[in-house]
Structure 1
Amino acid sequence: MSTDIVTRRRRRFAGVYLGYLIAALIFSGPVLFMWWSAFRHNVDITGSIFDITAPLTFENFTNLFDRFAFLYYIRNSFIIAGGSTLAGLVLGAPAAYVIVRRKMAGLGFLTLLARMAPGVLFVLPLFILSVNIGAPSNTALNFALLISAHLIITLPLCIWLLVPFFEDIPVSLEEAAMLDGCSVWDRFRAVVLPLVLPGLSVAVTLSFIFSWNYFLFALALANNDTLPLPVIAFNFIGQGASDYGGLMAASALISLPALILTIFAQRWLVRGITGGAVK
């Protein structure tokens, strides 16, 4: 191999890795800046943004828990995001299976329209429904309404993430199970679902993250007992002054569960691929 070819390959790989580095800085830079600012004084954030010599502090986090019942709002976020993710998966997995096997692409497109529409279109009808059923004064009803509202986000996402995985499963596998006397539900539960574990993992991860971070429905529909974390973080921004340190600390804590879930979902992805492989 000539020296010129080796040099060209090295330059090409250097260009590729440089592109990776630039992409990593673009995507991870704001996140790293958020975590760094969470440990800085508010005056340092507004006065000298990139001063690395400024002292670090845990004051933003301590003030966060002193000012708000932060653990209570974390629980609320888990109830809403977890409930909507679980409901979206329970309803979305059979729906995606039916759409694929019955070739009902039109029905799948209708569910996608709800995801494509801006969330503000649903706020007024949901608010009127909330008032009519007494949800503002009933914590359980309010949680149920918020979970149902977040299904607008999670259900279409689950369906359209799982459709390609169901399409890759040969019909012959289900036909073989049918010859053994398996019902439709048995085929779906024992044959199909183990083969789409990677898709289930992706659907759970993305649905939870989208629901966890969604702001609009909780702002309009939640009462004082059901407020989730994104609405609480909004309190750090005011007209006269803004607590950027507290906002960054709240944002860092809000992003932590989604980050942890993503890390664990990678293991489930690999396990699903090896456990559900067609042999």
Structure 2
Amino acid sequence: MKPKKSASILLSLLTVIVLVIFVFPFVWMLLASFKTQAQIMSTSQTFIFQPTASNYVNVFQQYDFLKYILNSMIVAVGSTILSLALGLPAAYAIAKYKLQGFGLVILVARIVPGISFLIPWYILFSQMHLVDSFTSLILSHMLVGLPFIVWIMISFFEALPHEVEESALIDGCTPHGVFRRIVLPMSGAGIVTSSLLSFIFSWNNFMFSIILAGDKTKTLPIAVFNFMSYAEINWGALMAAACIITLPVLVIALIAQRYVVDGLAAGAVKG
């Protein structure tokens, strides 16, 4: 019993240490968002200070963050929905008909660094007059979101029992009907998982947005630059903006946590 108890205590201690390492930056960011610039720079006011909401007021009044939130939401939701519309049928076809070659192409598109597509994307969208448009941002974000959804859903579709699909076909259901009425409802956890991860990528994406976004379509990660100048960095407003960027993803992740765990577990087991 003693070795087991010691191992349990050690495991708990390591868990606490890892948790503190990962949680502390977020706690510091949250506390700093309620501090003035002087309080942030003062080591004596790390945890004990007079809080202020002026940073959040400035973020929404002075920097018009509601516009950037709306822009990010349009791009993230748009890219996720289009990626699902194309990725789910593609993943189902690859899983059902064993199209390993096509799956390899998807994998290569996922592995290639996104930065290698920046110049071709910019030239293409410039020629089409789509720079500083939601169309260019949504399509560029799909470059990562679509392969991601496909690869998550391939393993998930392969784990579904084929007997259910065969029974539906025998009962007169068409292949498209089987996909819409049988496969998709049974794949709810996997769809939620892939959608959430694709949304998070698009919501936090900086690389594509800094090249293709403009004044009309500027997203939240790009808007953070407003708090940085040659003379100084407005740390309070920057931390408030970071909290605003993190909050929607955190809320969605907490709500969908059970589905994410079920989706990843189901997609990892092939039946």
Does TM-score exceed 0.5, indicating one fold? yes
Identity %: 37
Which of 89, 96, 109 is 1:101 aligned to? 96
Is 1:145 paired with 2:145?
no
What amino acid does structure 1 have at the position aligned with 2:172?
G
By how many angstroms is 1:40 displaced? Answer: 1.1
Quote the offset at 1:243 in angstroms. 0.8
Q: How many angstroms does 1:228 deviate by?
A: 0.7
Note the C-alpha offset of 1:267.
Answer: 4.7
Moved more, 104-113 or 72-81: 104-113
Equivalent in the alignment of 2:47: 52
Asked if the contact 1:197–1:269 (Cα under 8 Å) also holds between the matched residues in 2, the reply is no
Q: Residue type of the partner of 2:220? A: L
Match of residue 75 from structure 2: 80
Structure 1 residue runs of 4+, over 6 Å off? 270-273
Q: Which residue of 11, 18, 21 maps to 2:13?
A: 18
Provide the rounded CA distance (Å) in 2 between the counterparts of 1:212 and 1:60. 22
Q: Deviations over 1:45-104 (max 9, x none)?
A: 234286322322111111111211211111100000010011111111111111111111
Shift of the 270–19 alpha-carbon distance from structure 1 to 2, 3 Å rule, reads: closer
1:165 to 147, 151, 156: 156
1:199 aligns with 2:190: yes
Q: Secondary structure at the match of 2:39?
A: helix
**TM superposition score normalised by structure 2:** 0.91
**8 Å Cα contact 1:194-1:272 kept in structure 2:** no
3-state secondary structure, aligned to 1:135: coil
Equivalent residue number for residue 126 of structure 1: 121
Counterpart in 2 of 1:219?
Answer: 210
Q: 2 CA distance for matches of 1:159 and 1:37?
A: 39
RMSD after superposition: 1.9
Q: Name 2:173's counterpart in structure 1.
A: 182
SS of 1:159's partner is: helix
Give me the whole-angstrom Cα distance separating, in 1, the residues matched to 2:119 and 2:263.
41
> What is the alpha-carbon distance in structure 2 between the residues aligned to residue 182 and residue 248 of structure 1?
54
CA distance in 1, matches of 2:44, 2:84: 43
| Unpaired stretches in structure 2, ≥5 consecutive residues | 265-271
Distance 1:116 1:241, change over 3 A: same
Q: Which runs of 5+ in 1 are unaligned?
A: 274-279
Report the count of equivalent residues.
264
SS at match of 1:92: helix
